A and B are shown apart, each in its own frame.
Chain A
Amino acid sequence: MAKFLLLAFRNIFRNRRRTLMTLFMVGGGVAGLLLAGGYFAFMTRGLRESTIRNGLGHLQIFTADHFNRDEVRVLDTGIDNWRQVAANVKTGGHVRGVAPRIEFYGMVSNGEKSSVFMGSAVDPEAEKSLGFISNVVSGRDLDIKPSGEVEALVGAGLAKSMNVKVGDGLTLLSMTSDGALNGVDVQIVGIVNSGIAAMDARSLCITLASAQRLLQSDRVTNLVVGLDATENTNQVAAGLAPRLRGASQQLVLKKWIDLATYYKQVNSMFNGIFLFMGVIVFFMVLMSSVNTLLMSMFERTREIGTMLAMGTPRAWIVALFMVEAALLGSMGAIVGIVGGNLVGWLINASGLHMPPPPGYTNSILFHVLHVPAQMIGSSLLVIVSLAFASILPAVRASRLRIAEALSHV
């Protein structure tokens, strides 16, 4: 077996220039996949973490009614005794903190012009303790210590359409939990830019206490749970679910991935592109390698005839070509992994930025992650491609008529 592998290995280097070209081609395919896959991985990981950090959290707790029916009145599907639930959740392992939230909507007016807003109410202290960021581009974040004024963060698009800036005042109008109309004057302390233009055109954020006064309710829409690491989400969710069953309301635990629709779409798109690239690389390696391996077979016709004449089983000849191809693929994969990682490292060191994608306003850092699973997957892909490419020459070699092969010139 060792001698057989040795023969296959030495055969690869008979025509060094051709082998080198094949290695570059296979390596180029692997490197291309690693760079694209590494960039996609960076994008999806960045999107995942920013989605979580921008307020989604790792887990969210809702009442079951929140998903079963529409609200008749504001917060009538909210969590009642949320402080008790939050305290219970905080005792779990890997939990960094719990932030209560209220989602509401209403009208905002600057005295001359009115517009619809999508409001969220947060506890600034809890949000900060979880590391959630508000992407304030002008002014400051909501104050942890409540002052006399009702502070508000306004989306950049909404601020522009309402023609307001930091320090200006706005009036919010919304329905209370009793169905009455209530209003509150707020002072803009910051302008936020989430990067998503459609969101920034409607978003407005005030403190939880201010919202509860406006909505005349002590309930919250949901509780956002922040963990020490995203990788612990499943473990914490599994441990937390039984503990929520003892609450007075029927509560539902949602993982971030269940709520991150946009992330899932982007992830699916990247996976699709990566798969498509993989298919292209597979056929590229397959088609070019078939030619190389066929040439190698024709050059060795007399030698194969000699081996067959000596009684070498035809299956051995097939195996020899396939092992040669697999070895070539393995070496190409190593070249690709080394080359891909090197280029990736250079790209990362250069600090290149990509233009913002549609719907975004910020440019994106061009960074490549070094993902071991992609290295293994890409390597296997080219090894399998080459093994497939070797089937035709291997079978042709094994079917040579010995007498004709021996007289081949």
Chain B
Amino acid sequence: MKELVNVEGVSRRFSLDNGQARNPAHSYVTALSDASLRVTTGEFLAISGPSGSGKTTLLNLIGCIDQPSSGRILVDSVDTSRLSPGNMATLRREKIGFVFQTFNLIPVFTAAENVEYPLLIKGVASRERRSRVAEALDGVGLSARANQRPDLLSGGERQRVAVARAIVHRPSLVLADEPTANLDTHNATQLIDLMHGLNRSLGLTFIFSTHDARLLEHTERIVRLCDGEVVSDNSTGGGSRG
């Protein structure tokens, strides 16, 4: 299997008080400390840990929406720590799909228009956009709700639209930050099944943060974080270890 993500000794520190603290040791907080992780194509990987353990920080770093204070991250063999902001945006646009805890759909767009957005910014032609949007919405079982705006969709439907939006441009990697946190058990189970199905049918690589036991039960590989450090990396199924 091809290596898709390689996190090498990555740390992320956030400065406090704009760096004006008297004691330099107290001028920053470490969100992630010397974390290392390898992810191969087609994995279904969960990053688990308590609140404040660094799950979202690690996902942000892998997703190129933040940069490490030290260490390096390779996504599809590209060292993202050396990329300019513009090239990072291009990498995100081309190779990464995002699913957020609070869905983060554009409220003035319909479900179909939200799914279309990644294709729009990627410059995909109109006709192809339409067919891929229809395909993606069909894949998440929301063809009938294509013309509804997010405020008329249930939480589960919104998150399925978000998943369709994350996969429509055929990324190599889908990152999901607490995707089931705002869903009831029924919708959470449906979403887990959907993501798992996409992982198997399309070979999409999923990395998601969660402390939802329902989701962890379906995950082959779980990376556990505590206080910004990787404390365990174990496979429960067929996923490869880091």
User: Is B113 at the interface (CB under 8 A from chain A)?
Assistant: yes
- Tally of A-B Cβ pairs under 8 angstroms: 69
Known contacts A313-B86, A313-B89, A14 near B107 by CB under 8 Å: yes
Pick from A7, A305, A313: contact of B108, CB under 8 Å: A7
Residues of chain A within 8 A (CB-CB) of B93 are: 310-312
10 A–B contacts from the bound complex (CB under 8 Å): A3-B116, A14-B107, A303-B107, A305-B104, A306-B98, A309-B63, A311-B89, A311-B92, A311-B122, A312-B89
Given contacts A309-B92, A311-B89, A403-B60, 9 further A-B contacts (CB under 8 A): A7-B109, A10-B108, A308-B65, A310-B93, A310-B118, A311-B122, A313-B86, A314-B89, A407-B56
B interface: dominant SS: helix
B121: contacting residue among A310, A401, A403, CB under 8 A: A310
- Report the separation of the CA atoms of residues A59 and B100 in the bound assembly, to the nearest whole angstrom: 77
B86–A3 contact, CB under 8 A? no
Q: How far is the CA of A10 from the CA of B89 in the complex (A)?
A: 25
B81 is an interface residue with CB less than 8 A from chain A: no
A164 within 8 A of B: no
Q: Does B21 contact A (CB under 8 A)?
A: no
Main DSSP-derived SS at the A contact region = helix
Closest Cβ of chain B to A314, distance in Å, is: 7
- A407 and B65 alpha carbons, distance in the complex (Å): 12
C-alpha spacing A314/B89, complex, angstroms = 9
In the complex formed, the residue of A with least CB distance to B122 is A311
- Interface residue? B106 (CB, 8 A): yes
Interface residues of A in 22-69 (CB under 8 A from B): none
- Bound together, the chains give a CA A407 to CA B57 distance in angstroms of 11
Is A360's CB within 8 Å of the partner chain B? no
Contacts of A3 in B (CB 8 A): 113, 116, 120
| Interface status of B76 (Cβ within 8 A of chain A) | no
- What's the minimum C-beta distance from A361 to chain B, rounded to whole angstroms? 61
CB neighbours (8 Å) of A306 from chain B are 98, 100, 104, 106
* Nearest-CB residue, chain A, relative to B104: A306
Contact at A403–B104, with CB atoms within 8 Å? no
| Min C-beta distance of A409 to chain B, whole Å | 10
A403 lies within 8 A of B86 (CB): no
Cα–Cα distance between A6 and B92 once the two chains are bound (Å): 24
Q: Does B66 contact A (CB under 8 A)?
A: yes
A302 to B121, CA, bound (A): 18
| Contact assessment for B121 and A309 in the assembled complex, using a CB-CB cutoff below 8 Å | no
Does A283 have its Cβ within 8 Å of any Cβ on chain B?
no
With an 8 A cutoff between CB atoms, is A402 at the interface?
A: yes
B106 touches A311 (CB 8 A): no
By Cβ-Cβ distance, the 3 closest A-B pairs, closest first, are A311-B93, A10-B108, A311-B92
Does A267 count as interface, using CB distance less than 8 angstroms? no
Decide if B28 is an interface residue (CB 8 Å cutoff).
no
* Complex interface residues of chain B between 97 and 137 (CB less than 8 A to chain A): 98, 100, 102, 104, 106-109, 113, 116-118, 120-122
B86 and A310 within 8 A (CB): no
Contacts of B116 on A, CB cut-off 8 Å? 3
Whether A276 is near chain B, meaning CB under 8 Å from some CB there, is no
Name the B residues within 8 Å of A308 (CB-CB).
Answer: 65, 89
Contact of B65 among A10, A11, A303, A403 (CB under 8 A): A403
B100 pairs with A406, CB closer than 8 A:
yes
Which single member of B57, B107, B113, B117 contacts A310 (CB below 8 Å)? B117
In Å, the complex CA distance between A316 and B56 comes to 26
B94: Cβ under 8 A from any A Cβ: yes
A307 to B102, CA, bound (A): 14
CA distance A254 to B214 in the complex (A): 94
Which residues of the partner chain A approach B56 to less than 8 Å between Cβ atoms?
407
Q: Does B187 contact A (CB under 8 A)?
A: no
Closest-CB distance, A125 to chain B (whole angstroms):
74
Decide yes or no: A303 and B118 within 8 Å by CB, A311-B89, A311-B92, A311-B94 being known contacts.
Answer: no
